[in-house]
């Protein structure tokens, strides 16, 4: 057994499985020698409970257990250990509980239930405890059943179910009395099996429900304050039972026991009652049986002095309302209103009154599931009339109580309940409610006025009809609106007051006149008002920021004219744009709804989008973007929508900026982290007036997709439009950007795009060019390629002389005429004279100071003043510069001006190359970009080996041209666009840029004017690069069934072939042969795309300087080129001129070949 223990403890999975297979075989064929051997095996098995976490190892152990359970000694010892481990089910891990449950099921399989009744009873209790512990650990409202136990029940059938029912028992001997948690776990497992198994008989199902109801009422609803209460999370185990109770079970069982225990020990059972009411069917809650008793018990706890018990009882009332139980909710409502309205019954304790008013507010959560009515409803059967009638009664009662209540906490509860019911009121704000709120707003004690303002703002935001009756409050809040604009400390009350004024004035002319008379439109919305100040906005918390967003929404939607006259419209729009980037999702939703409503009301969407772009531009300056926070004052806070640490330090929220763009297309929400809404009535789409600006913003470097993709904001917006298109009944919203491609291109090429002074705007324009080229390639290429040429002409680049190039490449701070650095040791002269040799003692102490050396002495001011000398460094006149220094400074300024000019040209040329690359990559659809490649290559290829341009943009442009050339439909050239090939070809094109005319450029010269031969290493490296590119081209030709490549691909392939053919003789001959093989199919007459004049010049050059074998293979190529020259646009004149120059060659073979070609 020691050997088995060592092998089973191995880390190797194969060794473990082999060890357990050996144990299984030994037990099957040899058995267990004695009781000690059985106990040893049990210890080995239980050691795996802690060490094994993989299923293969656990299944190997189970096979050994099955084999060993045939022996009585092992069965007895193993069952005892399983029961002992199950006693601490709550302390085990998830995997350990599952393994123990499976082992217990193996025990039940091996047991004879009738013969081993005692052992089965202990195992059944252990299984129930394990099932309950697993359900409690899941922390779910509907815990999943234990799969191993369910499989056991399916294997054994009704016989085992009846055995378990017998173990649950009844009366005083029931398992619920002795092991309540295990009884709950076992009962819920049996209940799940009986309801999901079709073969369960009605008698068995009824008995299982009876046992489950017994466990539920005894344990969950049978709490005893004196006894140790069961775990508080046992209620979720019975949520399925509660949801499937019929009215009789609910009234006679659950409600009866709940009422009994609520009178006996309410503190122990109140939370379970709240959970029961939250999951009970609406029909059961509306049933008459037992309802009066339950209501009285719950309301007794609502009036309790203990805050925790009072809140739990209010949750019971809220559960009834959330379930949509209209009859029950109405009876709760009538009972509470009657008690509060009767002076004799009205509680004297403020805690009781606070609880009752909180319960009234909880009933406002009522939502009717259907339009059915009842005689007890008091309505006409419609949902709105029923809830609206209750809302009228509630508002009247609450308004009356608010005016007479003096206790602070009770007034807060009344105000909260009033705000909850106002959201359901179908009318305008009642006069009595407005008067009560006006009195509360004027009450400056304990912040009650601010609370009243906040409640009223929330109610009007949720129910805009209320604004019609809020006109009487304008005079009361006008002073606060003006004070908040001037005093940042009062900006919160001011914003709420300004919101009330704005919404009331929009629907009530008298309110508008009162606002004008009070000076709100002149004093409260000045450009420097604190409502628009970014620093003041950044210090607001989440709730206050949401209020400010609602206020700005009302101003922009209804009072744009007032903002225009006050010259603060831009500031208001920028404040909304800033709130669209707030860390709190509720604030972002309010701000985006402000944008949507303003656009629908006629505001220019371009101005609102410019307000958002303002913060993108501000974020490029350190400290330019204000650090927003979810808590007041800029501190931290707990929330989950964004990284608040980043928001506090002022990092720009790129993901939120990308999500904000949806508001300009008609989406009021932003993403998965935001609240859902009904949205606007129109179908979301990209407005044609801002399509270009929206595209630029979506591709801004500081704008990212809501899911974090840096360059995916536009794609994310298009994805949302795709989803909206499936529900659209009118025109497809995805067609609008493509139809507006011409206008988009104008914006991309305008002052906010390519011609902007901001680098980020130009970067956005380059990215946007790719997107518009994908939308409509033909229009984008026609509109933006000329713009790319206008950015910088190639002639300007060619006009840069060698001296300017040298100056540009010289390090800043040096002159181009300075000699090359040569190191010279600098000898420093000691101003104090030579130092004395240090003594041994000084060396021992590690000091290198000298007592005889002069030391620094602190002088008095008078001494310092008297000791000043005239001259350099001593307060005298500065030293005069020599002629050489003056000339050097003048030259430095001249070279700085030259360098700046070249830098500007480089920036413009780089922008042109990047724009061209973006258009080439985006316009590949239907070969639109491929048709432009030959024309573009003429200008771009010579720039690839420019001495002043960086390598990146040129290489990207070359690779993009390869991708475009590969995009010809129906041609095998598409292989050139596969992964890695465009970059390889771009590297080859950079080497071949000077060979596009078919001749080799002059070699570089050394300082003596002698030509410099390329090194063998350079030749080998160039040959390897050319070979990879030519192999890709040859493969494309082969895949095309030896048909010629399209003209676009050929315009790029020819310079590479020319470079390969003109390599030095030390280069591998295979590269030159490969180049000839690629050119051969394209030289025949009738093939378009090959530049025949450069090809003829290339063939003549190879004949002059190439090896004899290479010249022999090039001669037929020359004849093919000449034979097809008649199809050129010039009728072959260029080829003829080239051949005439070949006739004048000094080599006879070249003259003969040129003459024959002619």
At residue 841, the pLDDT reads 45
Residue 876 pLDDT exceeds 70: no
CA 204/CA 210 separation, integer angstroms: 10
Closest by Cα among 1053, 1060, 1039 to 1087:
1053
Q: Residue 636 — very low, low, confident or very high, per pLDDT cuts 50/70/90?
A: very low
CA 219/CA 222 separation, integer angstroms: 5
Q: Residue 256 CB: number of other CB atoms within 10 A?
A: 17
The half-sphere exposure of 1048 on its side-chain side, counting CA atoms within 13 A, is 27
Q: Which 8-state DSSP code applies to residue 798?
A: H
* Section 833-860 average pLDDT: 48
Q: Residue 1055 CB: number of other CB atoms within 10 A?
A: 25
CA 860/CA 375 separation, integer angstroms: 104
Residue 767 pLDDT exceeds 90: yes
Q: What confidence tens digit (pLDDT) does each residue in 528-555 have? A: 999 999 999 988 888 999 999 999 999 9
CB 1112 within 8 A of CB 1130: no
* Residue-wise burial string across 1023-1038, b where 16 or more C-beta atoms lie within 10 A, e elsewhere: bebbbebbebbeebbe
* Section 726-732 average pLDDT: 69
Closest by Cα among 1048, 1045, 1148, 1135 to 1099:
1135
At residue 199, the pLDDT reads 65
At residue 394, the pLDDT reads 92
Chain centre distance of CA 485: 36
Q: Residue 1042 — very low, low, confident or very high, per pLDDT cuts 50/70/90?
A: low
Residue 1041 gets the label, from left (phi > 0), alpha (psi -120 to 50) or beta, of left
What are the phi and psi torsion angles at 186 (to 5°)?
-70, -40
Closest by Cα among 477, 502, 503 to 490:
477
At residue 514, the pLDDT reads 92
Residue 644 pLDDT exceeds 50: no
Highest mean pLDDT among 179-188, 743-752, 874-883, 1004-1013: 743-752
At residue 248, the pLDDT reads 87
CA 648/CA 627 separation, integer angstroms: 5
Residue 774 pLDDT exceeds 70: yes
Helices 72-86 and 117-138 cross at an angle (nearest 10°) of: 40
Residue 557 pLDDT exceeds 60: yes
First CA to last CA across the chain, in angstroms?
Answer: 99
At residue 961, the pLDDT reads 92
At residue 31, the pLDDT reads 79
CB 1148 within 8 A of CB 1103: no
CA 1096/CA 1139 separation, integer angstroms: 7
Between 640 and 1040, the more confident residue is 1040
Helices (H) and strands (E) in the chain, counts: 58, 0
Highest mean pLDDT among 409-423, 660-674, 877-891: 409-423
On the 0-12 / 13-18 / 19+ scale of CB atoms within 10 A, 159 is exposed
CA 923/CA 770 separation, integer angstroms: 7
| SS3 label, residue 1013 | coil
Query: How many residues comprise the chain?
Result: 1158
CA 600/CA 605 separation, integer angstroms: 9
| SS3 label, residue 789 | helix
Residue 840 pLDDT exceeds 50: no
* Residue-wise burial string across 1114-1128, b where 16 or more C-beta atoms lie within 10 A, e elsewhere: bbebbebbbbbbeeb
For a pLDDT cut of 90, what percent of the chain falls above it?
Answer: 30
Least confident of 89-98, 218-227, 490-499, 872-881: 872-881
Least confident of 6-10, 249-253, 396-400: 6-10
Q: What confidence tens digit (pLDDT) does each residue in 102-152 have? A: 999 998 888 887 778 888 889 999 989 998 888 888 877 778 888 888 888
At residue 748, the pLDDT reads 94
Q: Which 8-state DSSP code applies to residue 681?
A: S
* Section 499-513 average pLDDT: 92
Helices 117-138 and 180-196 cross at an angle (nearest 10°) of: 80
* Section 1072-1087 average pLDDT: 86
* Residue-wise burial string across 895-924, b where 16 or more C-beta atoms lie within 10 A, e elsewhere: beebbeebeebbebbbbbbbbbbbbbbbbb
What are the phi and psi torsion angles at 1011 (to 5°)?
-65, 145
CB 356 within 8 A of CB 303: yes
At residue 733, the pLDDT reads 72
Q: Residue 226 — very low, low, confident or very high, per pLDDT cuts 50/70/90?
A: low
CA 992/CA 1052 separation, integer angstroms: 10
Q: Residue 157 — very low, low, confident or very high, per pLDDT cuts 50/70/90?
A: confident
CA 933/CA 1040 separation, integer angstroms: 20
Residue 227 pLDDT exceeds 70: no
**Cα–Cα distance list, 611 to 56, 572, 674 (Å):** 61, 9, 22
For a pLDDT cut of 70, what percent of the chain falls above it?
Answer: 87
At residue 1153, the pLDDT reads 86
Q: Which residues sit opposite 1011 in a β-bridge?
A: 1005
Residue 668 pLDDT exceeds 90: no
At residue 1124, the pLDDT reads 83
Least confident of 38-52, 641-655, 879-893, 1053-1067: 641-655
Least confident of 113-117, 803-807, 1120-1124: 113-117
Between 225 and 900, the more confident residue is 900
Between 887 and 856, the more confident residue is 887
Residue 867 pLDDT exceeds 60: no
| SS3 label, residue 616 | helix
At residue 631, the pLDDT reads 67
Q: Residue 374 — very low, low, confident or very high, per pLDDT cuts 50/70/90?
A: very low
Q: Residue 278 CB: number of other CB atoms within 10 A?
A: 18
Tokens of 57: 């190892």
Q: What confidence tens digit (pLDDT) does each residue in 22-74 have? A: 888 888 888 787 888 888 888 888 888 888 888 888 898 889 888 888 888 88
Q: Which 8-state DSSP code applies to residue 994?
A: G
* Section 848-865 average pLDDT: 46
At residue 752, the pLDDT reads 93
Residue 820 pLDDT exceeds 80: no
| SS3 label, residue 529 | coil
At residue 632, the pLDDT reads 59
At residue 881, the pLDDT reads 82
At residue 818, the pLDDT reads 82
Q: What confidence tens digit (pLDDT) does each residue in 1129-1157 have? A: 777 888 888 888 888 888 888 888 889 88
Q: Which 8-state DSSP code applies to residue 687?
A: -
CB 75 within 8 A of CB 43: no
**Cα–Cα distance list, 528 to 478, 535, 567, 1000 (Å):** 18, 12, 10, 69
Between 838 and 756, the more confident residue is 756
What are the phi and psi torsion angles at 12 (to 5°)?
-75, 125
Least confident of 414-428, 838-852, 1120-1134: 838-852
List helix spans (H) across 407-447.
408-422, 431-442
Closest by Cα among 1155, 1154, 1026, 1156 to 1096:
1154
Give the global pTM.
Answer: 0.79
CB 1107 within 8 A of CB 1126: no
Highest mean pLDDT among 851-855, 880-884, 986-990, 1063-1067: 986-990
What is the chain's mean pLDDT, rounded? Answer: 83
CA 219/CA 175 separation, integer angstroms: 11
Q: What confidence tens digit (pLDDT) does each residue in 159-186 have? A: 888 888 888 887 667 787 788 888 898 9
Residue 985 pLDDT exceeds 50: yes
At residue 4, the pLDDT reads 75
Q: Which residues sit opposite 1005 in a β-bridge?
A: 1011
On the 0-12 / 13-18 / 19+ scale of CB atoms within 10 A, 96 is middle
């Amino acid at each position: 057994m020691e050997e088995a223990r060592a092998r089973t403890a191995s880390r190797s999975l194969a060794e473990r499985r082999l060890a357990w297979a050996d144990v299984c075989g030994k037990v099957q064929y040899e058995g267990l020698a004695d009781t000690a051997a059985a106990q040893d095996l049990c210890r080995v098995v239980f050691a795996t409970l802690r060490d094994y976490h993989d299923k293969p190892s656990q299944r190997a152990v189970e096979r050994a257990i099955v084999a060993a359970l045939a022996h009585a000694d092992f069965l007895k010892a193993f069952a005892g250990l399983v029961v002992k481990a199950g006693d601490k089910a709550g302390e085990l891990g998830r995997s350990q509980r599952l393994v123990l449950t499976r082992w217990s099921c193996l025990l039940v399989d091996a047991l004879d239930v009738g013969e081993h009744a005692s052992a089965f009873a202990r195992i059944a209790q252990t299984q129930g405890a394990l099932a309950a512990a697993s359900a409690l650990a899941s922390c779910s409202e509907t815990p999943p059943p234990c799969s191993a136990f369910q499989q056991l029940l399916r294997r054994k059938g009704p016989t085992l179910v009846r055995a378990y029912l017998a173990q649950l028992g009844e009366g005083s001997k029931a398992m619920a009395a002795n092991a309540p948690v295990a009884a709950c776990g076992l009962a819920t497992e049996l209940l799940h099996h009986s309801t999901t198994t079709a073969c369960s008989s009605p008698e068995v199902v009824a008995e299982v429900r009876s046992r489950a109801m017994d466990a539920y009422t005894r344990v969950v609803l049978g709490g005893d304050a004196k006894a140790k209460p069961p775990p508080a999370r046992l209620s979720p185990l019975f949520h399925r039972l509660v949801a499937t109770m019929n009215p009789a079970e609910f009234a006679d069982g659950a409600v009866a026991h709940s009422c009994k225990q609520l009178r006996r020990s309410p503190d122990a059972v109140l939370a379970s009652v709240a959970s029961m009411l939250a999951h009970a069917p609406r029909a059961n809650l509306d049933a008459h049986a037992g309802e009066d008793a339950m209501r009285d018990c719950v309301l007794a706890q609502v009036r309790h002095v203990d805050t925790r018990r009072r809140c739990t009882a209010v949750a019971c009332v809220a559960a009834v309302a959330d379930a949509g139980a209209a009859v029950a909710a109405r009876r709760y409502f009538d009972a509470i209103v009657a008690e509060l309205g009767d002076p004799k019954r009205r509680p004297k304790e403020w805690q009781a009154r606070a609880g009752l008013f909180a319960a009234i507010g909880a009933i406002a959560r009522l939502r009717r599931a259907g339009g059915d009515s009842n005689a007890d409803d008091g309505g006409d059967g419609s949902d709105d009339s029923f809830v609206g009638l209750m809302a009228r009664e509630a508002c009247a009662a609450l308004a009356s109580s608010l005016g007479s209540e003096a206790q602070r906490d009770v007034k807060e509860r009344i105000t909260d309940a009033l705000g909850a019911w106002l959201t359901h009121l179908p009318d305008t704000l009642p006069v009595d409610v407005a008067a009560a709120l006006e009195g509360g707003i004027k009450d400056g004690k304990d912040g009650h006025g601010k609370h009243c303002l906040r409640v009223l703002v929330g109610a009007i935001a949720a129910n805009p009809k209320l604004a019609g009756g809020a006109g009487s409050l304008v005079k009361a809040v006008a002073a606060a609106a003006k004070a908040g604009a001037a005093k940042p400390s009062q900006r919160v009350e001011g914003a709420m007051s300004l919101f009330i004024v704005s919404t009331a004035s929009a629907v009530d002319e008298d309110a508008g006149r009162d606002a004008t008379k009070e000076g709100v439109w002149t004093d409260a919305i000045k450009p420097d008002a604190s409502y628009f100040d970014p620093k003041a906005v950044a210090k607001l918390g989440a709730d206050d920021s949401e209020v400010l967003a609602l206020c700005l929404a009302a101003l922009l939607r209804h009072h744009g004219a007032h903002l225009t006259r006050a010259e603060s419209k831009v500031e208001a729009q920028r404040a909304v744009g800033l709130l669209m980037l707030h860390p709190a999702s509720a604030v972002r939703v309010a701000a985006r709804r402000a944008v949507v409503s303003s656009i629908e009301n006629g505001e220019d969407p371009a101005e609102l989008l410019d307000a958002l772009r303002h913060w993108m531009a501000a974020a490029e300056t350190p400290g330019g973007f204000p650090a927003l926070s979810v808590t007041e004052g800029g501190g931290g806070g707990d929330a989950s929508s964004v990284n608040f640490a980043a928001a506090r330090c002022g990092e720009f929220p790129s993901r939120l900026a990308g999500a904000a763009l949806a508001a300009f297309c008609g989406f009021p929400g932003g993403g998965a982290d935001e609240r859902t809404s009904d949205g606007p009535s129109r179908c979301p789409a990209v407005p044609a007036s801002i399509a270009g600006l929206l595209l630029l913003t979506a591709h801004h470097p500081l704008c990212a997709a809501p899911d974090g993709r840096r360059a995916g904001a536009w794609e994310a917006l298009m994805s949302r439009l795709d989803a909206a298109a499936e529900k659209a009944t009118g025109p497809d919203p995805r067609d609008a950007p493509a139809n507006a491609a011409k206008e988009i291109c104008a914006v991309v090429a305008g002052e906010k795009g390519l011609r902007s002074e901001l680098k980020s705007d130009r970067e956005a324009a380059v990215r946007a060019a790719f997107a518009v080229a994908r939308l409509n390639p033909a229009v984008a290429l026609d509109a933006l390629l000329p713009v790319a040429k206008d950015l910088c002409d190639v002639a300007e680049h060619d006009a840069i002389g060698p001296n300017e190039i040298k100056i540009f490449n010289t390090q800043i701070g040096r002159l181009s005429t300075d000699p090359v650095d040569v190191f010279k040791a600098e000898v420093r002269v000691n101003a104090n004279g030579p130092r004395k040799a240090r003594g041994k003692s000084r060396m021992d102490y590690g000091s290198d100071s000298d007592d005889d050396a002069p030391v620094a002495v602190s002088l008095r001011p008078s001494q310092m003043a008297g000791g000043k000398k005239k001259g350099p460094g001593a307060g005298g006149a500065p030293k005069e510069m020599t002629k050489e220094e003056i000339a050097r400074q003048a030259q430095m300024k001249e070279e700085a001006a030259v360098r700046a000019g070249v830098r500007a040209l480089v920036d413009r040329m780089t922008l042109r190359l990047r724009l061209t690359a973006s258009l080439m990559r985006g316009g590949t659809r239907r070969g639109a970009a491929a048709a432009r490649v030959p024309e573009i290559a003429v200008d771009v290829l010579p720039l690839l080996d420019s001495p002043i341009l960086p390598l990146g943009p040129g290489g990207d442009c070359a690779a993009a041209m390869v991708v475009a050339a590969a995009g010809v439909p129906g041609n095998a050239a598409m292989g050139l666009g596969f992964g890695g090939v465009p970059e390889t070809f771009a590297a080859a094109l950079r080497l071949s840029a000077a060979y596009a005319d078919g001749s080799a450029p002059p070699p570089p010269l050394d300082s003596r004017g002698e030509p410099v031969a390329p090194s063998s290493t350079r030749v080998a490296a160039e040959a390897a690069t050319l070979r990879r590119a030519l192999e890709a081209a040859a493969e494309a030709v082969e895949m095309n069934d030896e048909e010629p490549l399209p003209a676009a691909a050929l315009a790029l392939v020819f310079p590479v072939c020319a470079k390969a053919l003109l390599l030095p003789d030390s280069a591998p001959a295979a590269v030159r042969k490969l180049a000839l093989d690629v050119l051969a199919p394209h030289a025949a007459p009738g093939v378009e795309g090959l530049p025949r004049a450069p090809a003829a010049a290339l063939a003549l050059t190879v004949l002059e300087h190439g090896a004899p074998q290479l010249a022999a293979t090039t001669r037929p190529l020359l004849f093919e080129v000449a034979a097809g020259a008649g199809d050129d646009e010039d009728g072959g004149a260029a080829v003829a001129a080239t051949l005439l120059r070949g006739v004048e060659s000094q080599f006879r073979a070249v003259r003969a070949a040129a003459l024959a070609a002619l």
